[in-house]
Structure 1
Amino acid sequence: MTRSRSGLEDYRSRVRGCLFGGAVGDALGAPVEFMTLDGIRAEHGPAGVREYVADYADGSPRHGLVTDDTQMTLFSVEGLIRAGVRQDRGLGFNPLGVVHHAYLRWFETQTLQEPSGHPDGWLREERWLYARRAPGDTCLNALGRGAGTPDRPYGTAAENDSKGCGGVMRSAPFGLLPPEGAPGDAYIFTIAAQAAGLTHGHPTGRLASGALALLIHRLVAGDDLRTALDAAMVELRGHESHEETDAALDQALRAAATEPVSAETVEGLGGGWIAEEALAIAVYAALVHPEPEEFTDALALAVTHSGDSDSTGAVCGNVLGALHGETALPPELTFEVEGRGTIGQLADDFVWEFTEGNRLHDDYGPPSRWTRRYPGG
């Protein structure tokens, strides 16, 4: 891919902003996920959650701990990189099965105490990922059925009717594929929807995930928030069973235009436990706080409600990070988010694979080291 230096810097900033923004929103909302709005205000004040809550589970305070939302997002990134490696080997870009395999590696982190020993890339060796942070039963049950056998090949859709937010909260990385040379908006939407369908079988769970990925993709391409959202909604309406997601996004748009900016308005959009509500809450918070200097305001609004605060915070952070790039990230939150080093490595590796892959797979460097890091499968 040919890209100017300034274009490459902008792209890298948006990729890093999206992934770090999602992790920060996740960590901000996680400690209040099961609290009521009144309880959150009583503990954190009328402005809501604007700084990390300490976790004392290990006896000393730890701040910025992320959940399965960030964990699975990182495995989405790793799966896409490994799909890129397969493409470099002449096998075509068919990420669904490769991402499914990545999610099974995440499942391993949730069911084992430590890496099992057989080499399979570097991400599954990161010990901090083996923390179990209330992963969704839908994801665990769907992935627990395994894959990679003749009866259940990689890429097989889940056999359930769930539209929980466990698909949409990990879908932003599909939108980070470079706009130049990408297969197009419809493909980004569809592959993200199919990947969500690996664990969540309801059409709304899939289509909300596709809409988020395309929203991110258009932001990375340089669209403003409303233009990117319009493009995502146009694509969404071309799919059967789009009505629930379309209605939720329409409600978010109306609320941003006509309702007070408040947690009560957020709660009018739902609890975020299901896919379309999580997307709507995140979009609403971004719409009413769209400026770079309002990043923390948007995240605080997205997590201060009686619902799935970590997921709505994560999705909002993904959106704003893709919109503004990493320089808009609030440093008071970003510097101690859990897994910061891992997130940064994956973000940069993603950019390199999809913009400078020839320098990783030919005479510029030993391909064995890169492909040991990212086996193509």
Structure 2
Amino acid sequence: MWGRVEQQDFRSRVRGTLLGAALGDALGAPVSALALDQVRTAHGVDGLADLASAYGRRGAVTAATQLTLFTVDGLIRAHVRRDTGAWHPPTDLHRAYRRWAVTQHEWGPDERRKDDGWLAREEWLYARRDPDRALLAGFGDDRLGTLQEPKNPTERGPSAATRSAPFGLLVGWEPQLVLQLAVECAAQTHGHPTAYLSAGAFAVLVHALARGDSLDAAVQRTLALLAARPGHQPVTDALQQALGAVRQGMPSPGRVDALAAGRTAEASLGAAVYCSLVCEDIRHGLRLAVNHGGDSSAVAALTGALLGAMHGETALPPAWLTELEGRAALLELSDDFAMEMTQSAALHGPGISSPGWLARYPRGG
């Protein structure tokens, strides 16, 4: 049973994770394609220190945040569908991601699609924000990529990892199951082992932090779980390099630049772990996470999720939150997720009629 204090703490960590990831994504978006010297040329010797304009506004998010929202939506829908006996979360997540794919080629919501739920009717999501080829190809048809037959088997980018924080918020699950679900869902677009294992490792890190562990303990648990997985060594090496960089002295953009080089999933994850270990303050951590030549929005989104899961929503910079695109929807979805995970028996189930909840998260579709 969840007590009142436990429910409040969990909701704060869910909000912290999802809002923190979105803030990092938005902060890094204007400089994500730039080398470190270009970032300094554009924003001064200290680099980017505040939200800047991307996609025509300050605080704009990328496809990473869009897909994170649909990950949450898919997890809620999977939880709701358990009442029917239909329990295959990767399928429910794939359906959610396919709903995101619709937003990338249509002008706006179609009210005729009753089973889409409320998130797919959010007009601000109908904007293409630089999704990579692997995302568009992976979710471009109804075929479900699996570990046995993954989509895009050579793809090593970070965009499967950046959508995977919500898996870590399944705090009632064992960490090995969180890892497995995140890996299976990542393989729907990113079939290279280092990409899907990075997504799984990130989810396990969030999971440990959301349960109240320290980041050091979370990293050690993640390394232990990774060791049993074929193809884990590049991801393990990236995490070990992050730990080694912590011992090399004061944090610096140069160290982040070295860790994030290559723009792969494991490099982005290693850089994010480093930023989270050396900067417990979220504002400073996110600033460090965007000022380098790697994938700034990805590294910062991963960093924001880790620090948000660790500290909860009250640690997030209020001024940045005010300008964050989609903040209202992020809060609404965060609270719905927390409610579903802690109070599902009162929302739906045998003998319980909750038409309002099931209209938001239909069992079909």
Instruction: Specify every segment of 5 or more residues in structure 1 that has no aligned partner in the other structure, as ranges.
Output: none
**1:114–1:272 Cα change, 3 Å:** farther
Map Cα deviations across residues 107-146 of structure 1 (whole Å, 9 max, x no partner).
11111111234221111110100111111111101211x1
Q: Distance in 1 between matches of 2:97 and 2:127?
A: 15
Q: Distance in 2 between matches of 1:197 and 1:101?
A: 14
Contact 1:189–1:210 (8 Å) recurs in 2: yes
Q: Which residue of 2 aligns with 1:281?
A: 271
- Aligned-residue CA RMSD (Å): 1.7
Offset of residue 44 of structure 1 = 2.0
Q: Which residue of 1 aligns with 2:7?
A: 8
Map Cα deviations across residues 184-237 of structure 1 (whole Å, 9 max, x no partner).
111100110111000001011111110000010011111011111111111011
**1:288–1:374 Cα change, 3 Å:** same
Q: Which residue of 2 aligns with 1:19?
A: 18
Greater mean deviation of Cα atoms: 112-121 or 234-243: 112-121
Offset of residue 307 of structure 1 = 2.1
Offset of residue 371 of structure 1 = 1.1
Map Cα deviations across residues 24-80 of structure 1 (whole Å, 9 max, x no partner).
0000000011122112122323332221113473xxxx2100000100000000000
Task: State whether structure 2 residue 284 is matched by structure 1 residue 328.
Answer: no
Map Cα deviations across residues 152-199 of structure 1 (whole Å, 9 max, x no partner).
3586731432111111110110000123xx2x1111001101110000
Percent identical among aligned pairs is 43
| Equivalent runs, 1:58-73 vs 2, <5 Å | 62-73=57-68
Q: Distance in 2 between matches of 1:137 and 1:85?
A: 31
Q: Which residue of 1 aligns with 2:36?
A: 37
| Equivalent runs, 1:91-106 vs 2, <5 Å | 91-92=86-87, 94-106=88-100
Offset of residue 89 of structure 1 = 3.1
Map Cα deviations across residues 210-267 of structure 1 (whole Å, 9 max, x no partner).
0000010011111011111111111011111100000011111100111441111111
Task: State whether structure 2 residue 84 is matched by structure 1 residue 85.
Answer: no
Code of the aligned partner of 1:70: T
Q: Which residue of 1 aligns with 2:246?
A: 256
| Partner residue of 1:270 out of 246, 260, 273 | 260
In the alignment of these two chains, the number of paired residues is: 360
Offset of residue 362 of structure 1 = 5.4
SS at match of 1:199: coil
Contact 1:205–1:275 (8 Å) recurs in 2: yes
Contact 1:272–1:281 (8 Å) recurs in 2: no
Task: State whether structure 2 residue 159 is matched by structure 1 residue 203.
Answer: no
Instruction: Specify every segment of 5 or more residues in structure 2 that has no aligned partner in the other structure, as ranges.
Output: none
| Partner residue of 1:130 out of 116, 123, 126 | 126
Q: Distance in 1 between matches of 2:261 and 2:67?
A: 21
Q: Distance in 2 between matches of 1:15 and 1:139?
A: 25
Structure 1-normalised TM-score? Answer: 0.92
Q: Distance in 1 between matches of 2:184 and 2:351?
A: 35
Q: Which residue of 2 aligns with 1:360?
A: 347
Greater mean deviation of Cα atoms: 232-241 or 263-272: 263-272
Q: Which residue of 2 aligns with 1:157?
A: 150
Code of the aligned partner of 2:178: I
Q: Which residue of 2 aligns with 1:172?
A: 165
Offset of residue 19 of structure 1 = 0.1
SS at match of 2:58: coil
| Partner residue of 2:287 out of 288, 297, 300 | 300
Q: Distance in 2 between matches of 1:268 and 1:153?
A: 35
| Equivalent runs, 1:188-267 vs 2, <5 Å | 188-267=178-257
Offset of residue 363 of structure 1 = 9.4
Offset of residue 272 of structure 1 = 6.1
Offset of residue 23 of structure 1 = 0.3
Q: Distance in 2 between matches of 1:153 and 1:203?
A: 17
Q: Distance in 1 between matches of 2:46 and 2:276?
A: 16
Map Cα deviations across residues 74-97 of structure 1 (whole Å, 9 max, x no partner).
0000000000001133333x2100
Structure 2-normalised TM-score? Answer: 0.95
**1:52–1:159 Cα change, 3 Å:** closer
Q: Distance in 1 between matches of 2:286 and 2:207?
A: 20
Greater mean deviation of Cα atoms: 311-320 or 252-261: 252-261
SS at match of 1:48: coil
Contact 2:269–2:299 (8 Å) recurs in 1: yes
**1:56–1:79 Cα change, 3 Å:** closer
Greater mean deviation of Cα atoms: 32-41 or 101-110: 32-41
Q: Distance in 1 between matches of 2:160 and 2:262?
A: 12
| Partner residue of 1:342 out of 329, 349, 353 | 329
Contact 1:272–1:279 (8 Å) recurs in 2: no
